[in-house]
Amino acid sequence: MAKMVFINLPVTDMQRSIKFYEAIGFKQNMDYSDENGAGMMWDDNIWIMLLTHDFYQQFLSGQMVANTQEVSGSMTAFSMDSIEEVKKFAQTAKENGGDFYHVELGMPEEQMYELEIKDPDGNILSASWMAM
């Protein structure tokens, strides 16, 4: 069996989040979706699980769900095939309720290009391209 990655994100408005992630290229898997969560597939092996705060809280022991509009606990990076794809991904996110910004890493664009994307809940995804 191939290894899989599941990224769990707390969200405040499930339908808004599903629409946002569909707009940036994820596909909802209805077999792993209900009122508590939605399985959003990047491909067969990489998923984002959108979870209501109450459901997400069940997986925490002695911790609280972060207010991701104010505090970041993680940043998940996705590789893209080109700088143009990175820019399109970020612009699509912005057009669908998210936002993006650029962090100057001191590297030439022809070596690496990255934009940080915020979903409507403030969760951060990095879209990046690297010359390999």
Q: Is the pLDDT of residue 132 over 90?
A: no
Q: Name residues whose C-beta falls within 8 Å of residue 88's C-beta, 6 or more positions apart in sequence.
A: none
C-alpha 21/C-alpha 37 separation (Å) is: 13
Helix/strand/coil for 97: coil
**CATH code where residue 40 lies:** 3.10.180.10
**Is the model's pLDDT at 73 over the cut of 90?**
no
Mean pLDDT, residues 46-59: 96
Amino acid at 41: M
Q: Is residue 19 part of a domain?
A: yes
Of 2-6, 38-42, 71-75, 108-112, which has the strongest mean pLDDT? 38-42
Instruction: Give Cα separations from 74 to 25, 85, 132 (angstroms).
Output: 21, 23, 25
The total domain count for the chain is 2
Question: Average pLDDT, whole number, for the chain?
Answer: 95
Domain containing residue 38: 1-61
Domain contains 38 = yes
Q: What is the pLDDT of residue 3?
A: 92
